[in-house]
């Protein structure tokens, strides 16, 4: 269960850092000479790659956690809550990724 817990917490931490990095330029003033389309494309492509990577890591963590919870020794409330919230989070993130990529 230790591996599953580390993977899930790393996925959630990476997801939080992804949003922080995506939203930071809005509040970080810097001098701009002109609007740059290339910079915006790099930000969007980086965000989409990060979104896919964190979703994949979250799904791997959910599978590992689900398999670990099959053993009675690992069925504690914190483990159940972490895996349960990660299942709902993965579903919500998959829905958001579908909206972001135009699949839904």
pLDDT digits (tens, 9 = 90+) for 70-90: 988 888 888 899 999 999 999
Question: Is 59 part of a structural domain of the chain?
Answer: yes
Question: Is 32 part of a structural domain of the chain?
Answer: no
- Domain count across the chain: 1
Residue 81 and residue 78: Cα distance in Å, rounded?
Answer: 5
Question: Is 33 part of a structural domain of the chain?
Answer: no
**pLDDT in the model for residue 32:** 66
pLDDT tens figures, 34-57: 666 777 788 888 888 998 999 999
Residues 6+ apart with CB under 8 A from 29: none
Q: Contact, 59 vs 17, CB < 8 A?
A: no
**pLDDT in the model for residue 96:** 84
Domain assignment of residue 66, given as a range? 2-24+39-100
């Amino acid at each position: 269960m230790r591996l599953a817990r580390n993977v899930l917490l790393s996925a959630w931490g990476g997801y939080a850092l992804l949003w922080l990095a995506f939203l930071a330029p809005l509040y970080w003033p810097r001098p701009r000479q002109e609007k740059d389309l290339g910079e915006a494309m790099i930000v969007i492509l980086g965000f989409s790659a990060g979104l896919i990577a964190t979703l994949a890591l979250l799904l791997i963590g959910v599978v590992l956690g689900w398999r670990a919870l099959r053993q009675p020794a690992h069925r504690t409330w914190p483990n159940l809550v972490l895996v349960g919230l990660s299942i709902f989070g993965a579903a919500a993130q998959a829905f958001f990724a579908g909206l972001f990529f135009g699949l839904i």
